[in-house]
Amino acid sequence: MERAITGYHQDDEGHWVAQLECGHHQHVRHDPPWTLRPWVVTAAGRRDKLGLLLDCLKCDRGEPRDRPLAEPV
């Protein structure tokens, strides 16, 4: 199920995680050559992708929302 990105945060290892409109979180790594997301490494790139639809497998599986965060980045 596609859900829009509403914000971002970094995990304990410094990887970027998208916060989705459904309340789930999903890693958005730039990990060439397997995953090409160069936009994730800059603040402007991440800001430009707010609203981008990502396939949320957690919604597909009916999982509960992830733990909420204080403030999206």
Q: What is the pLDDT of residue 32?
A: 87
Percent of the chain residues past pLDDT 70, beyond the cut? 95
- pLDDT exceeds cutoff 90 at 19: yes
Determine the Cα–Cα distance for residues 41 and 25; give it in Å rounded to an integer. Answer: 17
Token pair 């050559």: residue: 33
Average pLDDT of the residues of the chain: 93
Q: Which domains does the chain show, CATH number per domain?
A: 2-60 (2.40.50)
Higher pLDDT, 2 or 33: 2
Please give the average per-residue pLDDT across 29-58, as a whole number. 95
**Tokens standing for 59?**
């919604």
Q: What is the pLDDT of residue 69?
A: 77
